[in-house]
Structure 1
Amino acid sequence: MVLTGADPADDAHILIAAEKSTVESVSFLVRYGSGLVCAALPGSACDRLELAPMIGADRNRANTEYTVSIDATGSGTGISAADRARTLRMLADSSSAVGDFTRPGHVLPARTAPGGVLDRRGPAEAAVDLATVAGLRRAGAFTALVSEDDQTLIAETAEAERFADAHDVAVVSLEDVVAYRRTMESHVRTQFAVVRNSDYGHIHCVGYRSDVSGVEYVAYSIDSSPSATTPLVCFEQEVDPAPHLSTGVATASLAAVADNGYGTVIVARRNDGRASTADIRADLAEIVRDCGYRSPFLRNFPAVERPLTLHLNGSISNPVAVPDSVIDATGAQIELGCAAYDELLGQIGATHFQTA
C-alpha cells in the first residue's frame, strides 16, 4: 500500500508485509521507489539478530533508526528482487538466527520505536503496525515513493494518492494508522476514583493518565438527573502551576454541567506542552467513551478532526455517535469536513452527536 505523511507536504512511501515479499512486490518497490529497500523490525527482532545501529546515522534527521545493512546467506549477490524478497521473508521469520545473514548487504533494516506510530510517526513504525493489524508477523518493508513529476524529489500526498489510484493499491495516512490504534486500543489509564461533596451535590472524580501523551486528566462527573437530559461534557486546561491556591478553576463549566443535570468536566492537568493536539484529542475521546456517554453535547473541545471522529465511533458492533461539529469556548460551531467517515457511518447506521 501507499503511506502518506501526517502533512500533505510530507514524503510518501510504499509498504509491503515482509513475510509476503515476492519477486513482483520487491520489483514494484524498486521500480517506483528510491531503489533502497528498507525492512521495518521491532527492537526485539533487531536485538535477537544482533543488528547493530548504523554508525554515524543521523537519527534525528532521518526520523528512522537504521541498522547495518544485510543479506540472507546463500541468496546470490543479494541485490536482485528475488534475493531481497528472500531476505525480507527471513527477517520476518522468528526462527531465523544471526548466522542466517551477512553484513553488509542490500536490505537496510530499521529499528522501530517501542510504541509504533504512537511513539514515532514514521514509515517503519506504520509498516510494523499495519502488519500487526493484518494478523501477520511484525515485520514490514518500505521505500520512499519517487515523484513521477520530478524524479529528483519524493512524492507528496496528492501525487501519492494519484499513484495509488493508477496502480489499484490501497492508500492510508500516518494519522489514519494512529487513529485506528487509538480506536482499538486503550491508552488512558485510571489513576484514582473518589466521590466529593460540593455546592453541586456529589461529584464523582476520576483521575486518568495517558501512556501516549503523558498528560494527566481529572474528570468531574455530575449525574443528578441522568434520565432527563443529554450529558454535557466540557473541557478545561489547567494553566496555573500551583492550582490549589486558585479559586474558580473550572467553576463555570461545573455550573453548566450542574444546570444541565448530567455530564462531566474534563480538566487536563498542567503539562510540559510536548503532547500533540492530536494525542490530546484522542485522550479526550477515550475518556468520553470511558464515561459511558453515547451522544453528549461537547463544549470547549479542541476542533475535532477525522482521527478523533473515528475514535469516538467506537466499534461497529456497538457504534456510538460521531459529531458533525463541536462547540468552542465562544459557542461557535466548528465544522469538521468528515465526509468519508460520515459515509461509512451512514452505512453502519450510526447517529450523530448533538451540539449545544
Structure 2
Amino acid sequence: MDNTLNDCIVALNSGEMILLIDDFIEGKEIGYFYLLSDFVTPSSINLMATHGRGLVSVALTKQRASELTLPMMVNNNENPHKYFTVSVDYTNCSTGISAFERCETIQKLTEKNSAPNDFTRPGHIFPIISSERGLLEQVTISDAAIDLAQLCSAKSLSGVVCDVLNKKGMIANKLELENLSMELNLIMVSMKNLVVHQLRNTDLILRQKENTVPTKYGELTSIIYTNQLDDSKIIVIMKEKKNKTLPLPVYIDSVFSIGEAFEEKNIEKITIDGFGILIYKLNSSKESRLDSRNPFQLKESFGIFVEQILNDINITDPVIITNVA
C-alpha cells in the first residue's frame, strides 16, 4: 500500500474527511469530499455543502439497499456510472434539508436496526449503490466509497460523498482541488491508485489448462489462465531454459485467437536463444466494447496480471519486453 493511501486509511479511521480524486480518465478529474458514514456529523455535512457545493450522497452496498427496500430511482437506468435509489429522509425529520437532519438520515440508513418504514420517500439524502465487486468491476465514486470503507474495516461499510464545485459553480479542476486540500488540511487520494491497490491485492488469475505443444523448434509448454473477474483468457507459451542463471526474456502482447499466438514469427522469438516466455491477452469482440471505466482499461492492469502469472510459474528473474512485434 502506498504511503498516501495508508495515511488516508489512518485519517478515515480517526473520523477525518478526505478529498477523493476521480482521476481515472486523465484530464477529466472530479473531486469528492469523502467521510466514513460511521463518523458523519452535522458539521461534516455543513462543510460538504459549504465547500463542496455538490450533491451529498451516501454509498451503500446492494445488500443494505435491499434490506431497507430502497428501489432504484429509475427502472431503466441510463447512466452506467451512477446507480441512485429513491431519495429518503428519516421519518422524524421536519423538512429533512438541514445539516442536522441529513446527518440523522445517514446515521439511520447505516444503523443495523433501521427498517424500511423508518424513511419517507422522496427525501434529501441520495443513496447510491456500489457494484458487487466494487472497483474491480467498475470505477465509480460509489465503488470507491465502499472499497475504502472495507479497507478501513468500517462498521457500516458505507461512505458519505459530495462532489466538489468551485466558487463559480463549475467542477473544480485539479489545481483548485489541490488548493482546497491545503486550505482545509485534507489528504488527497487518487482513485486510480486505489484501483491499482485493489488489483494488486486480489487473486486475479486461475490456471485452467496446461499442454505440451510440439513445434519445429522443439517442445513448448502452453498454459491458459482465466481472469477471475471477467472470464477473459490469457495465454502463456514457454520455452524453459536449462541454464537458470540468466534472466528470462518475457514478451507481452495481445491476440485475437490462440492460433495467432502460435504463429511462427512469435514462437521463433522465444526459441532463438533456447528459452523465453510469451504472454498474450486474448482479445474478443466483447472486450473491444469495454466501458471506459472498466478497471482493466488501466495501463497498469495487465502488468499486474503478468506479475501474478510469473509468480505462479516461479519466474523470479525476468526481462520483460512489452511487445513481440
Q: Which range, TM-score by smaller chain?
A: 0.7 to 0.9
Task: Describe the shift of the 1:73–1:294 C-alpha distance in structure 2 as closer, same or farther (beyond 3 A).
Answer: farther
Q: How many angstroms apart in 2 are the aligned matches of 1:99 and 1:247?
A: 64
Partner of 1:351: none
Partner of 1:268: 281
Matched, 1:132 2:154: no
Secondary structure of 2:125's match?
Answer: strand
Task: Tell me the percent identity.
Answer: 22
Partner of 1:165: 182
Give, as a single letter, the amino acid of the residue that structure 2 aligns with 1:243.
G
Deviation at 1:11, TM superposition (A): 2.0
- Structure 1 segment 71-110 matched on structure 2, within 5 A: 71-110=89-128
C-alpha contact 1:4 1:11 (8 A) present in aligned 2: yes
Deviation at 1:39, TM superposition (A): 0.9
Q: How many angstroms apart in 2 are the aligned matches of 1:19 and 1:96?
A: 15
Q: Gaps spanning 5+ residues in structure 1: where?
A: 302-327, 330-356
Q: How many angstroms apart in 2 are the aligned matches of 1:253 and 1:52?
A: 56
Task: Describe the shift of the 1:77–1:217 C-alpha distance in structure 2 as closer, same or farther (beyond 3 A).
Answer: same
Task: Describe the shift of the 1:82–1:236 C-alpha distance in structure 2 as closer, same or farther (beyond 3 A).
Answer: same
Q: How many angstroms apart in 2 are the aligned matches of 1:173 and 1:18?
A: 20
Secondary structure of 1:37's match?
Answer: strand
Deviation at 1:14, TM superposition (A): 1.3
Matched, 1:288 2:307: no
Secondary structure of 2:74's match?
Answer: coil
Deviation at 1:282, TM superposition (A): 3.4
- Structure 1 segment 139-150 matched on structure 2, within 5 A: 139-148=158-167
TM-score, length basis structure 2: 0.81
Q: How many angstroms apart in 2 are the aligned matches of 1:242 and 1:219?
A: 10
- Structure 1 segment 1-356 matched on structure 2, within 5 A: 1-5=18-22, 6=24, 7-55=26-74, 59-60=78-79, 63-136=81-154, 137-148=156-167, 151-199=168-216, 202-225=219-242, 227-239=244-256, 241=257, 243=259, 247-248=263-264, 250-255=266-271, 259=273, 261=275, 263-272=276-285, 273-275=288-290, 276-278=297-299, 279-301=301-323, 329=325
C-alpha contact 1:234 1:266 (8 A) present in aligned 2: yes
Deviation at 1:23, TM superposition (A): 1.8
Give, as a single letter, the amino acid of the residue that structure 1 aligns with 2:62.
G
Q: Gaps spanning 5+ residues in structure 2: where?
A: 1-17, 291-296
Query: How many residues are matched?
Result: 296
Deviation at 1:72, TM superposition (A): 2.0
Q: How many angstroms apart in 1 are the aligned matches of 2:206 and 2:184?
A: 42
Q: How many angstroms apart in 2 are the aligned matches of 1:246 and 1:299?
A: 18
Q: How many angstroms apart in 2 are the aligned matches of 1:245 and 1:202?
A: 15
Per-residue deviation, residues 92-116 of structure 1 (Å, max 9, x unmatched): 2333221222211110011122221
Q: State the structure with bigger RCO (CA 8 A, min sep 6), 1 or 2.
A: 2
Secondary structure of 1:65's match?
Answer: coil
Q: How many angstroms apart in 1 are the aligned matches of 2:231 and 2:53?
A: 36
Secondary structure of 2:226's match?
Answer: strand
Give, as a single letter, the amino acid of the residue that structure 1 aligns with 2:255.
E
Q: How many angstroms apart in 2 are the aligned matches of 1:244 and 1:163?
A: 52
Deviation at 1:181, TM superposition (A): 0.4
